[in-house]
Amino acid sequence: MHAPPSETGTSAAVTGAAMTTCFGDTDRTVDALLAGESGVAPLRGMDTEAMGVVYGYPIADGDESQSRASGWLTGVIRDATAGLELDGRRVAVVVGSGLRELRSLERWHRDGAAFGVRQLHFDEAVRAALPGVAEVLTVSNACSASGYALAVGMDLLSADEADVVVAAGTDSRTESMLTMIGKIGDELTAAVEPFDVDRTGVLLGEGAAAVVIEREARTPLGWIRSVGLTCDAHHETAPDQAGVVGAMRDAHERAGVTPADIGLVVAHGTGTALNDPTEAGALTETFGTSRPQITAIKGATGHTSGGASLMNTIVALTAMRTGTIPAVTGLRTPIEQAAGLNLVVGDAAPTTATLAQVDAFGFGGVNAVTVVEVA
């Protein structure tokens, strides 16, 4: 067995990973990111005029059944655990979601579609993939939810409460959230443009992601070195640079690394008026003269809320394993606050990075920063 690389002894081996996005499965998503594709499309089946939002990054699978977020969750957990030996082992699953099955609840209210309160918890969706799982936990930490799920999973392993943990995240678009976005925007957003001077706001994506972690493994995909957390409660929606920097530094300290050790950052990058300059400022403050390569994927996939952090984690691992980083889709001219950052713009770029930072920030100042190392 290979021992975890962290001096703190808190690392976990990544033994499986899977995601589904507007592009499709993990391989199709990675290919689309590297090609600079965008999954933005007109929204169907919703009153876009009333919501004030016309576009999104939907999964166009033709399935408008109830519990879509649960269905994607079942699929990625099944894919991430395929081929793993789990019999006789204590397996826990932690699911992060910003909105849970709110879309199903909306359809119950509007159309009387069948819906059970237990579906909000995802227990049934998890057990459809892993019938013998010992425990299912659900956390709802806004847009950093799956980062928090990963942190809880790390704690479960560290406390010897589980032998294997599946950390996952899932969300689907909802009329409630889209209407909120439509009401606060100054103009119609046609695409997410992270860190761009002409960005107009965020659009929702859909999908799910899952990562399997264990204390040790013979052939891991990589290592979760740490998850740093802060809950600064600065504002209901506006991010706080001090809280973001605190999460980054907490992650570095827990991992036993310095900013100079980080070669890649997969940024949160929502394309909003406040998040982008705040995150850019936090990266500048944290990294100083270090210049890690920086990318972000929401211009391609939209904001996938609960699944965003783990999707970024999978992208980081894949980029380091293949030696190629996707560019920031939608970015042409960086904002002033990002002028000193080493953003990957235009085309995919080669990398020799072996250690990456993954950013995820949620409403209310719930921030999760992951440090991940390639095997």
Q: Is the pLDDT of residue 20 over 60?
A: yes
Share of the chain above pLDDT 90, in %: 78
Give every CB contact of residue 318 below 8 A, 6+ residues apart in sequence: 26, 30
pLDDT of residue 64: 64
* Measured CA distances, 256 to 45, 200, 260, 314, 373 (Å): 49, 38, 12, 21, 12
CATH top class, domain 223-374: alpha beta
Average pLDDT of the residues in 28-55: 94
Q: How far apart are CA 213 and CA 163, in angstroms?
A: 9
Average pLDDT of the residues in 318-345: 97
Q: How far apart are CA 168 and CA 76, in angstroms?
A: 8
State the average pLDDT for the chain. Answer: 92
Q: Is the pLDDT of residue 68 over 70?
A: yes
Q: Is the pLDDT of residue 184 over 80?
A: no
Give ranges for CATH 3.40.47.10 in the chain: 12-214, 223-374
Q: How confident is the model at residue 238 (pLDDT cuts 50, 70, 90)?
A: confident
Q: How far apart are CA 355 and CA 260, in angstroms?
A: 10
Q: Is the pLDDT of residue 77 over 90?
A: yes
pTM above 0.85, yes or no: yes
Average pLDDT of the residues in 22-34: 98
Q: How far apart are CA 167 and CA 371, in angstroms?
A: 15
pLDDT of residue 6: 45
Give every CB contact of residue 108 below 8 A, 6+ residues apart in sequence: 114, 115
Fold type of domain 12-214:
Peroxisomal Thiolase; Chain A, domain 1 (3.40.47)
Q: How confident is the model at residue 116 (pLDDT cuts 50, 70, 90)?
A: confident
pLDDT of residue 179: 86
